[in-house]
Structure 1
Amino acid sequence: MTNAKNIYLVGPMGVGKTTIGKALAKNLTLEFVDSDYEIEQRTGVTISTIFDIEGEDGFRNREIRMVTELAERKGIVLATGGGAVMSEDVRKALRHNGLVVYLHASIDMQMDRTRNSKNRPLLNTGADRREVLEQLMQEREPMYRQEADVVYETDGRSPQTAAREIAGEVRKLWQF
């Protein structure tokens, strides 16, 4: 996509959207933005608190508004929430104004990367974490792949290596 203005990172929790996104933005001299962080900054509470008070539907409504708003900006690398691509409004916004990079990781890697996280409401329900991650992957992966201009495997790669390799792909697609 040669006219893309932004890079959107999609994928499940624990794939490195935030960590890789920061390194990628630095590599490409773009601004990094994390939609979950922006929601927390605007509301003054954590994502977990939003889930507790408004439920998942309330959070998703906030997420849709935030991602579609952020997608109007130019020159950003945006780390989206894991479920953002399930919204048609989000998918349209991402398609309209940027390049979508699907960051993929194995369930084992996601388990490892999220094991100490307390701010992942979908994993803190008391249900088996592996089963939750597998179910989310089954539901969401078709959308990640459908929307992706680039699919990148993060297993076994440092954030710096991932950012460098993704930047190379972006430069090829944007022809710069």
Structure 2
Amino acid sequence: MSNQSIVLIGMMGAGKSTVGRALARHLSWEFSDTDHVIENQTGVSIPVIFEIEGEAGFRRRETQCLIDFSNKSAVVLATGGGIVLAEENRRLLKQIGPVVYLKASVQELFQRTKLDKNRPLLQTPNPRQRIEELLAQRKPLYESCADLVVETGRQPVHLIVQKICKALGLESGHPANRKVQTSE
């Protein structure tokens, strides 16, 4: 797998950054997060980008970020929750490497994000309902992109990392090229 990376997709609060950092450490790979890359490139926070450019402007920046990562290897890339909305992004995700969908329940997502003011799409009177709406829209897209689905739930991060490595064949050095469903 020396010529590929691993991409983590899923809803905000699913654990992409936390799991991604741990997975990268475990593999001795680089970790990157598309949201952080965009913030570093622009010098402003995601909410400010949404305010100035709107969601469409932010989504264009995500596409460019994926293009930039398409030639890199040995990177664990955590992505923004809405990155799967654009068809071009879904194609680019698959070019980067195996795509892992980190899945969590609406309740878990709400608990993990309810106090976070850096999530523009949740700045509504009813953020839990907004999470339900976003998940209903995005879940089929996550599933269509995923080579592997892992439920994050209340599992310790190291167990999630172990499941990803085992399913992708990283312990033996030979990645699996099939869809795998992992739960618990």
The answer to whether the superposition gives a TM-score over 0.5 is yes
Question: Partner residue of 2:31?
Answer: 32
Cα offsets for 1:32-89 (capped at 9, x unmatched):
0100000000100000010111111111111111122123211100001101111121
Are the equivalent residues in 2 in contact too, given 1:4–1:97 (CA < 8 A)? no
Count of residues in Structure 1 that have an aligned counterpart in Structure 2:
174
Cα offsets for 1:73-109 (capped at 9, x unmatched):
1110000110111112111112123100000000000
Separation in 2 of the partners of 1:13 and 1:22? Answer: 16
Alignment of 1:100-111 (within 5 A): 100-111=99-110
Are the equivalent residues in 2 in contact too, given 1:95–1:147 (CA < 8 A)? yes
Alignment of 1:5-24 (within 5 A): 5-24=4-23
Q: Which amino acid aligns with 1:84?
A: I
Give the C-alpha shift of residue 21 in structure 1.
Answer: 0.2
Identity of aligned residues (%): 41
Give the C-alpha shift of residue 4 in structure 1.
Answer: 6.5
- Aligned residue for 1:151, secondary structure, equals strand
Aligned-residue Cα RMSD (Å) equals 1.7
Question: Partner residue of 2:127?
Answer: 129
Are the equivalent residues in 1 in contact too, given 2:7–2:100 (CA < 8 A)? yes
Separation in 2 of the partners of 1:116 and 1:161? Answer: 26
Question: Partner residue of 2:143?
Answer: 145
Question: Partner residue of 2:62?
Answer: 63
Does 2:158 match 1:160? Answer: yes
Are the equivalent residues in 1 in contact too, given 2:7–2:96 (CA < 8 A)? no
Q: Which amino acid aligns with 1:167?
A: C
Which structure carries more helix by proportion?
Answer: 1
Separation in 1 of the partners of 2:52 and 2:169? Answer: 43
Q: Which amino acid aligns with 2:74?
A: G
Separation in 1 of the partners of 2:58 and 2:96? Answer: 24
C-alpha distance 106-69 of structure 1, shift in aligned 2 (>3 A): same
Q: Which amino acid aligns with 1:148?
A: A
Give the C-alpha shift of residue 164 in structure 1.
Answer: 2.0
Question: Partner residue of 1:120?
Answer: 119
Are the equivalent residues in 2 in contact too, given 1:15–1:103 (CA < 8 A)? yes
Are the equivalent residues in 2 in contact too, given 1:3–1:174 (CA < 8 A)? no
Q: Which amino acid aligns with 2:71?
A: E
When normalised by structure 1's length, the TM-score is 0.93
Question: Partner residue of 2:91?
Answer: 92
When normalised by structure 2's length, the TM-score is 0.89
Separation in 1 of the partners of 2:148 and 2:76? Answer: 14
Cα offsets for 1:119-164 (capped at 9, x unmatched):
000001x231111101111111101001100000000112222112
- Aligned residue for 1:171, secondary structure, equals coil
Q: Which amino acid aligns with 1:170?
A: L
Q: Which has the higher contact order (CA 8 A, sep 6+)?
A: 1
In structure 2, stretches of 5+ residues that fail to align are 176-184
C-alpha distance 48-168 of structure 1, shift in aligned 2 (>3 A): same
- Aligned residue for 1:112, secondary structure, equals helix
